[in-house]
Amino acid sequence: MIGGGIAAYKCLDLIRRLDEHGVAVRCVLTAAAKELVSPLAVAALSHGKVFDELFSLTDEAEMGHIRLSREADLVVVAPATADLLAKMANGLADDLASTLLLATDKPVLVAPAMNPRMWAHPATRRNVERLRADGVTILGPAAGDTACGEVGTGRMVEPTELVEAILARLRAGPRPLAGLRALVTSGPTHEPIDPVRFIANRSSGRQGHAIAAALARAGAEVTLVSGPVTIPDPEGVRTVHVETAREMAEACLAALPVDIAVCAAAVADWRPEEVPAHKIKKMPGGPPPTLRLAENPDILATLARHPTARPRLVVGFAAETGDLETEARAKMAKKGCDWILANDVSEGTTVFGGARNRILLITGDGPAEAWPELAKEEVARRLVERIAAMFAGGRS
């Protein structure tokens, strides 16, 4: 179901990707959506008729809105505008899309997209909470630049993430990590210099959040410990929000015991030794302040060498700017983790803050496995497949 937001154009890519996975798609357009995407283009990509009229003589002779709502295995609303969310939450049915949503007995997945202030408005927040209570899955929205020129949370999630979520709900069979517990760290840490300034890095948290979501879809009970990020919490995951490396370390230890630990966070190695209560002032003609640094806890090594509650599998990340494999193997040996995923974060790469990643996976003394550049969601899916295969083989 395509709503009338500017992100409607992304649905053309979404339909194409679902078709590549063998998913049959039937499309419903709202009146506003038809102003933004061509029904002809939607029909061509979905290989079928586009439905957009509640009072169609041919469709409604067969009670088309009821048939559409019952024949699907999953109803996806993308983009879900503030108007559509409000109609869903309050049971309104004044067009084909909203009538179908009220009549369906199938799972519903929505991908909100709107102006950041509309998303933050108390009415929208109430509607979203009501929909969650009704069992609707909310995916996103993401943060970033929006079409109206404002920056904030309101962008529809990318088609790749939507495809993963849709396929996870359509796949049959047992979930391979059911019964296992997982811990994932994600994002940067902020180490305060004074009440205003802090030491940080460019990590967006996208890779760690994608891994947490993929583990949850595979059936694991997931705790995500996240530093300060602007992306939404993954569905089906317990998220603990922290600011500093010490807070992240405490949250990780509190989450034990777990079977799997994936340390994807870009944790600051050092923090200022002392943090004044007031902002450090710039003195005219004076020297710059001296910062004495103290070492932060090593979360990966702490988990990998835990004396009583070491996870069966500990996976680390190595963000490097030199000889990728040599430095990653050295880190793996120093930290004591089982696997390590190395990536090049040299100047000019877009791993930090970007949507894609290029991974070198090292799982032991054998040759490293170079993955091509992939969407971070695909990196997460591949990693979780490897984790599931390891546990299925009974190795620890």
As a whole number, mean pLDDT of residues 376-387 equals 93
pLDDT tens-digit readout, 86-144:
999 999 988 899 988 888 888 899 999 999 999 999 999 999 999 998 889 899 898 88
303 class by beta-carbon count within 10 Å (0-12 exposed, 13-18 middle, 19+ buried): buried
| Confidence band for 323, pLDDT divided at 50, 70 and 90 | confident
Q: What are phi and psi of 304, to 5 degrees?
A: -70, -25
What are 338's two structure tokens? 């089982």
Name, in order, each residue with C-beta under 8 angstroms of 333's C-beta and a sequence gap of 6 or more. none
Rounded distance between C-alpha atoms, residue 164 and residue 60, angstroms:
33
Least confident of 82-86, 184-188, 213-217: 213-217
pLDDT value at position 306? 97
Rounded to two decimals, the pTM is 0.63
| Confidence band for 57, pLDDT divided at 50, 70 and 90 | very low
Name, in order, each residue with C-beta under 8 angstroms of 204's C-beta and a sequence gap of 6 or more. 187, 229, 230, 231, 352, 353, 354
pLDDT value at position 254? 97
pLDDT tens-digit readout, 140-183:
898 888 777 788 888 999 998 899 888 877 864 568 998 999 99
What are 32's two structure tokens? 């506003």
Pairing between strand 374-375 and 356-357?
antiparallel
From the list 302, 292, 309, 386, the residue with the least C-alpha distance to 336 is: 302
Q: What domains appear along the chain, each with residue ranges and CATH number?
A: 6-170 (3.40.50.1950), 181-392 (3.40.50.10300)
As a whole number, mean pLDDT of residues 268-293 equals 92
Q: In angstroms, how far is CA 164 from the centroid of its own chain? A: 10
Rounded distance between C-alpha atoms, residue 104 and residue 311, angstroms:
43
pLDDT value at position 94? 87
Query: Are the CB atoms for 351 and 319 separated by under 8 Å?
Result: yes
What are 369's two structure tokens? 């496995």
pLDDT value at position 251? 97
Q: Please give the C-alpha separations between residue 141 and each of 120, 230, 362, 377, in angstroms, as whole numbers.
A: 11, 10, 33, 16
Query: Are the CB atoms for 159 and 10 separated by under 8 Å?
Result: yes
Q: What is the CA angle 52-58-60, rounded to 5?
A: 70
Rounded distance between C-alpha atoms, residue 235 and residue 131, angstroms:
14
What are 350's two structure tokens? 């877009």
- Selected catalytic residue, list 11, 27, 148, 337: 148
What are 15's two structure tokens? 């339909």
Q: Is 148 an annotated catalytic residue?
A: yes
